[in-house]
Amino acid sequence: MPSNLARHFLLSEDVVFLNHGSFGACPRPVFETYQAFQRELEAQPVAFLGRELTARMRTPREAFAPYLGTSPENIAAVVNATTGLNIVAQSLDLKPGDEILTTDHEYSALEKTWAYVVRRTGARVVTVEVPMPLVSEAAFTEALLAGMTERTRVLFLSHITSPTALVFPIERAIAAARRRNIITVIDGAHAPGHIPLDLDALGVDYYSGNCHKWLMAPKGSAFLYARPQMQGILNPLVVSHGWTNQSKEPGAMGALGNSPFIDEIEMQGTRDPSAWLAVPAALAFRKEHDWDAVARSCTALAQETAARLTERTGLAPLSSPEFSAPQMVAMPIPDCDPLAIHDALIERYAIEIPVFKWKGQALARVSVQGYNSPEQMDLLVDALSDLLDLARPLSQAMS
Ligand SMILES: Cc1ncc(COP(=O)(O)O)c(C=O)c1O
């Protein structure tokens, strides 16, 4: 049975949806706001996209920036984190032999992005193995420090990892990189709405995050943060009216009246900005429903579900609880054909959850959002137990 918050979402009742991490569900009132913007656009396209767009785009920046711990001038709207991170990766002036330091937990689309940059520049990716299980901030930072050389130009880290659902303790690594003049680029795709963010205090150079995952804004809403001193070296992926052939020093005026950083990135030719415009509605929905409290119950449910499965599998978790993403846990499961388990879960039990192998270990990643319920977790644990033949908890089997 879904939670009573499920009525605020458009998810089909035919599915036990436990994969908010891949594509988050958007609450009904937020989606309606989004559609209202689309209808307004269609009623007078020239007014909306011509005369009013610059002012309209500013409203979400102003509403959202405090939530991120920065000022509106430091964030630009992009359609997804992949785009934000591509803008950074493709703007950096890397030379043959330069090193991009990263980890073995990164998201595959971004691994491809850096592979593309490497092919074009002759730089190379250096991948550090994060000591697992992740139980200590010191071990994480030490591993990265050991990977830094005088050739390291970029440190690229997920804030919350996709395959392993860990919150990387990135603060000390960022500070260490900054002291060595290494450019810090953080993939925060899963962070907004999931963990507190204070981007200015973090001291990071570039950070891109999605609003369409845990913040629950419509698909196509994300942001790129750039520290003021680092905005000038960015180039848009698409050159359009916002581009200006001028200095991009802090304080410079862009072609459309914002900074060049914002104007160049936000103006990409004709497109639908409605998802970004609905970000304030997502913030309002969260406030109205005390989503911080909802998220705390989701975290408790996620951890309890993982503990129940651990009891059945006997397989150690990937981290101690403080490094597990609050609402998303990647649970080790016995060796199996992950695709077959995934398909059986959806076909026989209507449970939507990713099951895959990461570095040879089979993992099932459960996301818990406000629309989920303890009963759905029971279904998942029972279904996985049946499919993996974990009929009885280990503790009982041994007694
Ligand atoms: C860690 C991480 N980075 C980047 C992305 C890409 O997000 P998007 O497809 O919205 O750009 C994802 C998507 O799940 C992700 O998990």
Domain boundary among 258, 284, 310: 284
Is the beta carbon of 81 within 6 A of some atom in ligand 1? yes
Domain boundary among 227, 260, 284: 284
Q: What residue has token string 């929905």?
A: 285
Give pLDDT < 50 ranges for the chain.
none
In a domain, 34, yes or no: no
In a domain, 323, yes or no: yes
Give yes or no: residues 268 and 329 share one domain: no
Q: What local confidence, expressed as pLDDT, does residue 392 receive?
A: 63
Q: What local confidence, expressed as pLDDT, does residue 351 receive?
A: 98
Give the distance (Å) from ligand 1 centre to CA of residue 81.
6
Q: What residue has token string 């939530």?
A: 67
- If DSSP codes are grouped into helix, strand and coil, which group holds residue 109? helix
Give yes or no: residues 297 and 268 share one domain: no
User: pLDDT (tens digit, 9 = 90+) per residue, 57-108?
Assistant: 999 999 999 999 999 999 999 999 999 999 999 999 999 999 999 999 999 9
In a domain, 154, yes or no: yes
Residue nearest to atom 12 of ligand 1 (CA): 189
Give yes or no: residues 342 and 201 share one domain: no
Q: Which spans in 255-399 are helix H?
A: 260-266, 274-277, 279-288, 291-313, 338-349, 374-387, 394-398
State the Cα angle at 25 between 20 and 26, rounded to 5°.
145
In a domain, 144, yes or no: yes
In a domain, 211, yes or no: yes
In a domain, 325, yes or no: yes
* Ligand 1 pocket test target in 20, 105, 110 with most atoms within 8 Å of CB: 110
Q: Which domain holds residue 295?
A: 4-26+290-398
- CA dihedral over 108, 113, 116, 118, signed as positive or negative: negative
Q: What local confidence, expressed as pLDDT, does residue 175 receive?
A: 98
Q: What local confidence, expressed as pLDDT, does residue 1 receive?
A: 54
Give yes or no: residues 263 and 166 share one domain: yes
Domain CATH code at residue 218? 3.40.640.10
Domain boundary among 263, 284, 305: 284
- CA dihedral over 243, 244, 245, 250, signed as positive or negative: negative
CB 87 within 8 A of CB 113: no
Give the distance (Å) from ligand 1 centre to CA of residue 109.
8
User: pLDDT (tens digit, 9 = 90+) per residue, 147-167?
Assistant: 999 999 999 999 999 999 999
Query: How many structural domains comprise the chain?
Result: 2
Domain CATH code at residue 298? 3.90.1150.10
The residue type of 195 is: I
CA dist., res. 53 & res. 48, Å (int)? 6
